Structure 1
Amino acid sequence: MTSATSELCTFASAHEFGSRFIRFGETELDIGMRVLRQGSRVLELGSRAFDLLATLALASGRVVHKDELIDSVWPDTIVDENALHVHLSTIRKVIGQDSKLIVTVPRRGYQLIASPSTPVPAANFEDDSQRTLRTAMMPMRSALLGRETAIDVICALMRDTRVLTLVGPGGIGKTSIALEIAHRTSGSNEDDVHFVDVSDQRSLGEVLLAFGAIGPVAREDGEPDLDTTAAMLTRIRGLIVIDNAEHVADPVAQLLERACHSANPPRFLVTSRQPLRIPAETVYRVTPLAVSGEATEPCDANGSPSPAIALFLRRLAHDGRHRVIDDELMTQAAEICRCLDGIPLAIELAASRAAILGLEPVLNNLADPLPYLDGGYRTACARHKSLLASIKWSFDMLESSEQTVFQRLSVFDGAFDAQAASALASDVRMSPTAVMQCVSELVDHSLLDIHFDGAAVTYRLLTPSKSFGRQRLAEAGELATMVERRADYLRSAARSASAQQAVLSPVSFRS
């Protein structure tokens, strides 16, 4: 059995809340039993073709890149792309009329969608087979660490809002939290739950097609339609999770805005690196995992490691090599997690690298962490396989002026205020006002962390983002210039502070 097959079977057999069946059109896929049916008829399909179809089905309507399909079905083998085409052709031939539900997306990959002609009934909570069917289409979730308080707060917020958006930088754990909430909701027997991944969509039409796994999204002429999709969503009672929406925030916002105009719309839980900015939305900003305050105290008063360190140790143990968890290892793990600002993706990637190189070499190179933080899960999307790809995904969505400001602010080592940002990033082409507009967008895109202390507001780039910005400055030949500009500003600020202190100091008089 291939590792891909094993993973798929594990997903099905370990699924706690839903059935092991995924239905599309007239075809029923039983992943656990590795059986394909249409009605009472069992369809014959080879092992590789079955793995391929199961991978498409478990993608929950998103476009799966051909490289991801090849990696999943042939994980340890170099195969020609023709093998993929041959197996897809076999699948289409076997499933007959339902083959139209496997869509080829030019230059991107393949998508399995629900039939646009399939009617969507109003949710019926007594029909457990329908509820568990949709639950089975949700991705598998992993055990979370240090997120119980956040989940409690989010669930409380969801009771009073129709659209709740989990916002935060790439790799912070938004999808993991959303999946945990979705599985808990589905397990409560109170709600119908749907999961829609829009990570591979690029346009309004593609976003609408992604909702085809839930119900009809097309007009009579077969074209995906915003009003048709919004009307379909208003007939659903339950929770709809929309994952990875940052790059299609406008189309998703349009769709949800229309759906929320109905008298009793469903609840939406969205993950995105930026808010949707619609009236019905409540935003919850996901923060990094807690890291112990001191490198010499990696555990709490009860002797348990902090969530960040616990995640590092769990990922380190997954490489299959035994390690003695002694004080030295715990101290190094704590320092690595602190250097990476408690970002879950960065911690997992660092642990994966430490499993091969050891902790000390990884720790010694975290001043510039990006070259060392790659090698994510084979089945992860491209932007979650390395920290560089994750940050670049957000950076590429910025306007050129915002990219410039981001790069310039990366030379700050710690927190800075609006005055410092304006002084450093403004020039003859960009006024201080324009700089602060860019700063606002960087905060909105989760590339700049904001901190409030009473009336004071400061900003900070997380360590990986700072490393990326400085790398871009160096490539543009501007790093030395910006470092010197920062030094000039800090000297000037120090002189001003000293002069101000002299004015405020009391004058001594002698008799």
Structure 2
Amino acid sequence: MNSLDDFNPASVLRFGPYTFHVRQRLILNGDQPVRVGSRALDILQVLVERAGRVVTKEQLIAQVWPTSVVEEINLRVHIAALRRALGDGGNGQRYIINVPQCGYSFIAPVHRDSAAPQTPANPPPPHNLPARLTPVIGRDALVGSLMRHLPACRLLTITGPTGVGKSTVALRVAELLVQYFRHGVWHVDLAQISDDSSLLEHCLQRLGSDLAGLCERHALLVLDNAEHQHAACKALVEHLLGAAPRVSILVTSREPLQVSGEALKQLSPLSLPKPVAVDDVAEAMGCAAVQLFVSRARARQHDFQLRAQDVQPLREICRQLDGLPLAIELAAAQIDVLGLIGLHAHVSDGLQVLSQGRRTAVPRHQSMRAALDSSYQRLSEPEQRVLQRLSVFKMPFTLEAALAVVSCTPLASSRLAAIITSLVQKSLLTQEGSGSACRYRMLNTTRRYAREQLERSGEGVELERRHARYVNQLRTHSGVYVFT
């Protein structure tokens, strides 16, 4: 059975009203693009290339997920998404059928066009992307959306909290867009730059070009971990947007660059199982956080299986870890030492269980504490102090509550409000709603880290007392217990 890349890269596959541009990973219905996730596209390619034949479920999984163990439910989810996207069954037109006990078959006639089939394909564009060692889980729809958006957008910044997977998503998007950019895709990790040379000079060295040459290039520049060089990155991007009109820029950062024309994508944690599905393995495996945990656990224990009695503790583990991919991977790495029940017992105790990760990872990703250290150390002293003090709130809180509990002489109300806004921009707080309905929330992992810093400061006991007094006042005046 051929691999996904064993076809002429110029191939165009046509069926019904659809045109599948394989090299561009694009499906058109007439002249309108069809929204299909990356994994679903891989599945469609396998089926269409073998139209009229039955492809077993095992073959599909082996082709689309070659380096990981995947449950059949994942395949069914993507098949269902494909059918919806193609209108399969609408107006009597069928494309993909299920062959009971066998697999799936693409049954519509397929016409294939190939440009210059007698000539060798052009060499792939150059790139310096790092090799991906593990599959990307739970981000197919997002990656597909960013791929469609980026070519028409000069600057796209992916933001989000520590450990949410910004770099993983950006690098996956870049991998899939290598063929689109004639002069390649170039990755620059700003966290690794410590010399005094300008960021522009560093990027030009990576691209093997001078500024005049860069102005003529059709390329994608991935500026990773921009918060480590925020001011320099902002200046570089502003310069490139004006000087290199065919260069697109994909940025990952805990906060926006705030450059004119910047498109923002706030990256959310992975989806969690619903509390009511306490023992439904299939439904739990439909959630990305569980899929990631199981995949990484099987890398440690090849015979690991999620059982019905494991669903509830695993759901709680993923919830305590906020659905953050880095935290989930670090927890799964302890499965052979603690087991699932032991991990469940320890995960709410603090960050110690998340202290041993991949030795090959960069230092800030080897433990959750190291990752949070990297964020915390870049804060100003007032921002650090406010973050510490806000850790007394275990539930979402209002600005009014923060002012009542956290403010002190060095942190007047007006200044405190500005600092809270800054912490939101830096992805250390999440803002939910607006106006009178506005609430702020701290992720569990961030709150535990900030609470450790608060205890070291010696202010923990006093802040707990102030918090308790405020809660009692709410009870007295409204009869409603809101904050814990």
SS of residue matched to 1:277: coil
Question: Partner residue of 2:12?
Answer: none
* Aligned mate of 1:214, from 193, 203, 207: 207
Cα deviation for residue 187 of structure 1 reads 4.0
Is 1:185 aligned with 2:185? Answer: no
- Larger displacement relative to structure 2 (292-301 or 254-263): 292-301
- Larger displacement relative to structure 2 (331-340 or 147-156): 147-156
SS of residue matched to 2:408: coil
Cα deviation for residue 128 of structure 1 reads 4.1
Task: Give, as a single letter, the amino acid of the residue that structure 1 aligns with 2:289.
Answer: A
Equivalence map 1:39-188=2 (5 Å):
128-129=122-123, 131-132=124-125, 134-135=126-127, 137-140=129-132, 142-188=134-180
For residues 287-317 of structure 1, give each alpha carbon's deviation from its aligned partner in whole angstroms, at most 9, with x where no partner exists: 0000012174365876734110010011111
Cα deviation for residue 232 of structure 1 reads 4.9
Q: In structure 1, how many angstroms separate the alpha carbons of the residues matched to 2:237 and 2:178?
A: 21
> Number of matched residues?
364
SS of residue matched to 1:406: helix
Equivalence map 1:358-397=2 (5 Å):
358-397=339-378
Task: Give, as a single letter, the amino acid of the residue that structure 2 aligns with 1:448.
Answer: L
Task: Give, as a single letter, the amino acid of the residue that structure 2 aligns with 1:215.
Answer: G
Contact 2:334/2:353 (8 A) holds in 1: yes
Task: Give, as a single letter, the amino acid of the residue that structure 1 aligns with 2:321.
Answer: L
Task: Give, as a single letter, the amino acid of the residue that structure 2 aligns with 1:197.
Answer: D
For residues 468-502 of structure 1, give each alpha carbon's deviation from its aligned partner in whole angstroms, at most 9, with x where no partner exists: 11101111111111111111111122333249xxx
Is 1:485 aligned with 2:466? Answer: yes
Q: Structure 1 residues 143 and 234 mapped into 2: Cα distance closer, same or farther (>3 Å)? A: same
Task: Give, as a single letter, the amino acid of the residue that structure 2 aligns with 1:333.
Answer: L
TM-score when normalising by structure 2: 0.70
Is 1:496 aligned with 2:464? Answer: no
Question: Partner residue of 2:448?
Answer: 467
Contact 1:142/1:176 (8 A) holds in 2: no
* Aligned mate of 2:417, from 436, 441, 446: 436
Is 1:307 aligned with 2:300? Answer: no
Cα deviation for residue 339 of structure 1 reads 1.1
Q: Structure 1 residues 233 and 263 mapped into 2: Cα distance closer, same or farther (>3 Å)? A: closer
Question: Partner residue of 2:111?
Answer: none
For residues 439-468 of structure 1, give each alpha carbon's deviation from its aligned partner in whole angstroms, at most 9, with x where no partner exists: 111111111111126862111110010001
Equivalence map 1:288-367=2 (5 Å):
288-294=269-275, 296-297=277-278, 304-367=285-348
Cα deviation for residue 236 of structure 1 reads 2.1
- What 5-or-longer segments of structure 2 have no aligned partner? 7-119
Contact 2:277/2:283 (8 A) holds in 1: no
Cα deviation for residue 368 of structure 1 reads 2.9
Q: Structure 1 residues 254 and 358 mapped into 2: Cα distance closer, same or farther (>3 Å)? A: same
Contact 1:245/1:272 (8 A) holds in 2: yes
Question: Partner residue of 1:243?
Answer: 224
TM-score when normalising by structure 1: 0.66
Cα deviation for residue 370 of structure 1 reads 0.6
Equivalence map 1:245-264=2 (5 Å):
245-262=226-243, 264=245
Q: In structure 2, how many angstroms separate the alpha carbons of the residues matched to 1:187 and 1:367?
A: 45
Is 1:284 aligned with 2:284? Answer: no
Cα deviation for residue 402 of structure 1 reads 0.4
Question: Partner residue of 1:399?
Answer: 380
Q: Structure 1 residues 210 and 262 mapped into 2: Cα distance closer, same or farther (>3 Å)? A: closer
Q: Structure 1 residues 456 and 265 mapped into 2: Cα distance closer, same or farther (>3 Å)? A: farther
Q: In structure 2, how many angstroms separate the alpha carbons of the residues matched to 1:314 and 1:479?
A: 39
Cα deviation for residue 141 of structure 1 reads 5.9
- What 5-or-longer segments of structure 1 have no aligned partner? 1-13, 18-125, 218-227, 500-511
Q: In structure 2, how many angstroms separate the alpha carbons of the residues matched to 1:394 and 1:195?
A: 22
Q: In structure 2, how many angstroms separate the alpha carbons of the residues matched to 1:411 and 1:16?
A: 53
SS of residue matched to 2:256: coil
